[in-house]
Amino acid sequence: MSSPTLNALVHTMRYEADGIVSVEFRPASSEVDFPAFEAGSHIDLHLPNGLVRSYSLCNPSTDRQRYVVGVLNDRKSRGGSRYVHQQLRVGMTLPISVPRNNFKLQEEAGRSVLVSGGIGVTPIWCMLQRLVAIGRPVELIYCARARKEAAFCEAIAALAAEKGVTLTWHFDEEKGAPPDLAALLADKGADSHYYCCGPTPMLDNFEKTCEKLGYANAHIERFAAVHVETPSATESYVVECAKSKKSVEVPPGKSILDSLIDAGLNPDHSCKEGVCGACETRVLSGEVDHHDGILTKAERAANKTMMICVSRCQRGPLVLDI
């Protein structure tokens, strides 16, 4: 089954920067209760055009009955962000998921270094507000192509000035080059926790830089699953479902999720792109070929869970806790 949803009202839409709007949702009726959320969480919007898209929450996690997301009108949009910008309007209602968190903030860390790239500022802004609220040491490195394309700048600058947060801006247009993460992150401490959300090239660079600098506590959130070129599957394989006692054949070119649904099972799912985490399933046996945008290298190596919407069986028998 699809994950449970909440009926939400589009309460406010606000221009935040060139190509970026924020959308505030509130419960559509008194019967709807928005669960509390943690910094780093996201929600899925079930849009009227049939698409499901995940967006990070950017308002303070202390807010109740209020979810705010920031949406970039992506030039490469496949219909999600374009719909939000062109057709979503105040007063409309739509189903949203309950918040999920694949980008957890370690609140007890001695120091946190937050790095954002473009619209990746949304979960980072939420994290910054949380760390400041609980009095934890934090600094922010905010990168974007141009200042006019950077959302929440005024609010971030005001909070940093008020609370004494170290804030570094890097706008490619003004600096004449992309950010040098090695220089920006140098001497920040091996025990600090590092967080980055932004476009794929930036995240790849961030991971490599943290590894070179010996920073073990590096956390990222991707907008999309990592695209890995793999040979097209030519053979089917069987998935054993431990709880339901079913054996399901997965043919070439079809996902495990869709095969299970066709077999009459109803696993939780939402985005079908490997970025929301709704379909994460425990692996009891077998090796997985991971293609999601959520699990870390260590988590993939551990082979304990998989996103059944995009990941596949590498070596069987594949037995799932479903």
For residue 25, being part of any structural domain is answered with yes
Tell me, what's the pLDDT at 78?
Answer: 78
For residue 47, being part of any structural domain is answered with yes
Tell me, what's the pLDDT at 271?
Answer: 82
CATH number for 43: 2.40.30.10
CATH number for 217: 3.40.50.80
Environment class of 238 (CB within 10 Å of its CB; exposed 0-12, middle 13-18, buried 19+): middle
pLDDT tens, residue by residue, 68-100:
999 999 887 778 999 999 999 999 999 999 999
Looking at the fold, whether 117 and 206 belong to one and the same domain comes out as: yes
Looking at the fold, whether 84 and 124 belong to one and the same domain comes out as: no
Of the three residues 159, 192, 221, the one that is the final residue of a domain is 221
CATH number for 253: 3.10.20.30
Query: Count of domains in the chain?
Result: 3
**Where does residue 153 fall: left (phi above 0), alpha (psi -120 to 50 degrees), or beta otherwise?**
alpha
- 121-133 and 153-163 helices cross at what angle (nearest 10)? 20
Looking at the fold, whether 71 and 138 belong to one and the same domain comes out as: no
Give just the sign of the alpha carbon dihedral 242, 248, 251, 254.
negative
Tell me, what's the pLDDT at 224?
Answer: 67
Looking at the fold, whether 129 and 158 belong to one and the same domain comes out as: yes
Looking at the fold, whether 66 and 16 belong to one and the same domain comes out as: yes
Which H or E run includes 18?
none
For residue 30, being part of any structural domain is answered with yes
Looking at the fold, whether 211 and 130 belong to one and the same domain comes out as: yes
Please give the model's pTM, rounded to 2 decimal places: 0.87
Looking at the fold, whether 93 and 124 belong to one and the same domain comes out as: no
Please enumerate in sequence order all residues whose Cβ is within 8 A of that of 100, keeping only pairs 6 or more positions apart, or say none: 41, 42, 43, 276, 277, 278
For residue 73, being part of any structural domain is answered with yes
Tell me, what's the pLDDT at 70?
Answer: 98
For residue 252, being part of any structural domain is answered with yes
For residue 208, being part of any structural domain is answered with yes
Tell me, what's the pLDDT at 285?
Answer: 94
Of the three residues 51, 66, 97, the one that is the final residue of a domain is 97
Looking at the fold, whether 194 and 254 belong to one and the same domain comes out as: no
Of the three residues 170, 187, 221, the one that is the final residue of a domain is 221
For residue 229, being part of any structural domain is answered with no
For residue 103, being part of any structural domain is answered with no
- Domain span at 168: 112-221
**Smallest Cα–Cα separation from 219: which of 240, 252, 195?**
195
Give the pLDDT of the chain (322 residues) as one tens digit per residue: 567 899 999 999 999 999 999 999 999 999 999 999 999 999 999 999 999 899 999 999 999 999 999 999 988 777 899 999 999 999 999 999 999 999 999 999 999 999 999 999 999 999 999 999 999 999 999 999 999 999 999 999 999 999 999 999 999 999 999 999 999 999 999 999 999 999 999 999 999 999 999 999 999 998 766 655 555 566 899 999 999 999 999 999 899 999 999 999 989 888 888 888 889 999 999 999 999 988 888 889 999 999 999 999 998 899 999 9
| Apex 273 CA angle, 65 and 51, nearest 5 | 60
Q: Are 147 and 174 in contact (CB under 8 A)?
A: yes
